[in-house]
Structure formats: C-alpha cells, structure tokens
C-alpha cells in the first residue's frame, strides 16, 4: 500500500493577499486616473498617453514583484519550520524597514506617471536599485540570507541596465517596453520559484528572489 503523500505547507503570506490587493488598488488609483483622463481627451494614439500607460504598467509590475519577493523571502527566511536553522543570522527589523523603502520608491513613481520631465525614470531607477542597499547592509552584517537576496538583486540591476541603455539609444517608449519585458521575465522566474518551493511533489530550493 502506497504511503499517502503529505500535503504541502500553505505559506502564511497567502493570508495577506487581500490587503495587498487593497494597497495596490489605492496606489494605482492615481496613475489610472491620470492615464484614463488623458486618454479620454487626447486619445490613445497620443504619445503622451502611451507613455503614461506604459509607466503605469511599469509601476504595477514593480509593485507586484515587490510583494511576491517579500512573500517568498519572509516565508523562507522567517516562517518555515527550519528557517532558524537554515538562516541563523538574520534581522527581521532590517528586512522589514528596508523593504518598506523599496515599496515607497514604487509609490513615489506612481505619483509622477503624468510628469512631462524625466523624474519618473529616476524614481523607478531608485525602486529597481533599492535592493542593492538591502544586500549591502545584510552583507555587512553577515546575514545568512545574503545568497537568497543576491540572485534577485542581480536580476533587477540587469533589468535597470537594459532600461538605461534603451533609454539612451531609443528614447522613452522603446525603453519602457524593454523594461516591461524584463519585469515580466523576472515575474515568470519568481512564479516558477514559488511553484518549486510549494510543489505538491516535494519542495526544492528556489534560485533566490
């Protein structure tokens, strides 16, 4: 008789899904209002409307990535039964406070979606590079979670570098498209990591956030 398969542990961060929806909706209210009102008056063929729409999508994906990474990271490093053994050197206050900074950078980008200057590019650059600060502090404190962070930070810096290169070479519209593709690819990777971590066939170690 075969041994019954143990159901996978449901991560605690699933309980946060609905308030995350609420936070995202509140943050995205302003960029959606800017884009839709401008589109109603100028039309979707207007370059300014297209830029604002792409910026809004960028903000949405950056926030989605941040919430997904935070959920997986905090579950792995703090909430799993063997987290204390696998990550003996860690700091919840450090991770929590620096994580709030990353979220605030994305919120800041949402407030300048309709700007005619390039301030959006700078703010989204801060949002994408913020994890370098997180990684540097963790490395200085010799936290055990540094290897978990490093891969995701490298991805974000790579995406930012591609965005900056496309911006310099082709302008904003193509650069935002490059940025969106990079963020979508990274989200796909995060989803695959989540599936590996909570697979019904037995969890395997994800590649990092």
C-alpha 144/C-alpha 13 separation (Å) is 21
Give one DSSP letter per residue of 88-100, joined into a string.
-S--HHHHHHHHH
Which pLDDT score is estimated for 3?
52
Going by the DSSP 8-state scheme, the letter that residue 16 receives in this structure is: G
Asked if the model's pLDDT at residue 164 lies above 50, the reply is yes
Give residue 185's pLDDT.
95
pLDDT of residue 156: 92
Of the pLDDT bands very low, low, confident and very high (cuts 50, 70, 90), residue 125 is: very high
Please determine, for residue 202, whether its predicted confidence score (pLDDT) is greater than 50.
no
Q: Rounded CA gap, 50 and 209, in Å? A: 31
- pLDDT the model gives residue 79: 86
Is residue 22 in some structural domain? yes
Residue 22 confidence (pLDDT) above 90: no
Residue 203 falls within a domain, yes or no? no
Q: What is the pLDDT of residues 137-162, one digit of tens each?
A: 999 999 999 998 998 899 999 999 99
Residue 115, in any domain of the structure: yes
Is position 170 within any domain? yes
Whether 175 is covered by a domain: the verdict is yes
- Which domain range does residue 114 map to? 15-197
Dihedrals phi, psi of 190, to nearest 5 degrees: -65, -40
What is the tens place of the pLDDT at every residue in 63-98?
999 998 888 899 889 988 899 999 999 999 999 999
Examine the pLDDT at 204 and tell me if it is beyond 90: no
In a domain, 208, yes or no: no
**Residue 23: its pLDDT value, please?**
86
Q: What is the pLDDT of residue 12?
A: 61
Reduced to 3 states (helix: H, G, I; strand: E, B; else coil), residue 41 is helix
pLDDT at 201: 45
- For the chain, what is the domain count? 1
CB 90 within 8 A of CB 143: yes
pLDDT at 198 over 90: no
Is residue 14 scored above 80 in pLDDT? no
**How far is the CA of 95 from the CAs of 9, 81, 128, 131, in angstroms?**
23, 19, 16, 10
pLDDT at 21: 85
Q: Would 181 be classed as within a structural domain?
A: yes
Q: Which residues contact 6 (CB under 8 A, 6 or more apart)?
A: none
- How does DSSP classify residue 203? -
Grouping H, G, I as helix, E, B as strand and the rest as coil, residue 7 is coil
């Amino acid at each position: 008789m075969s041994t019954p398969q143990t159901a996978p542990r449901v991560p605690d961060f699933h309980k946060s899904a609905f308030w995350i929806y609420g936070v995202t909706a509140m943050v995205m209210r302003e960029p959606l209002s800017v884009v839709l009102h401008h589109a109603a008056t100028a039309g979707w063929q207007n370059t300014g409307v297209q830029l604002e729409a792409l910026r809004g999508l960028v903000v949405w994906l950056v926030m989605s990535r941040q919430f997904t990474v935070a959920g997986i990271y905090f579950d792995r490093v703090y909430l799993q039964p063997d987290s204390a053994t696998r990550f003996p050197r860690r700091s919840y206050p450090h991770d929590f406070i620096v994580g709030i900074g990353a979220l605030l950078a994305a919120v800041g980008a949402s407030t300048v979606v309709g700007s005619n200057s390039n301030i959006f590019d700078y703010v989204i650059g801060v949002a994408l590079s913020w994890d370098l600060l997180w990684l540097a502090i963790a490395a200085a404190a010799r936290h055990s979670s540094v290897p978990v962070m490093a891969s995701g930070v490298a991805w974000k810096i790579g995406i930012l570098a591609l965005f900056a290169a496309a911006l310099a070479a082709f302008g904003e519209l193509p650069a935002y498209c490059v940025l969106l593709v990079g963020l979508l690819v990274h989200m796909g990777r995060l989803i695959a990591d989540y599936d590996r971590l909570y697979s019904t066939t037995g969890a395997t170690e994800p590649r990092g956030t």
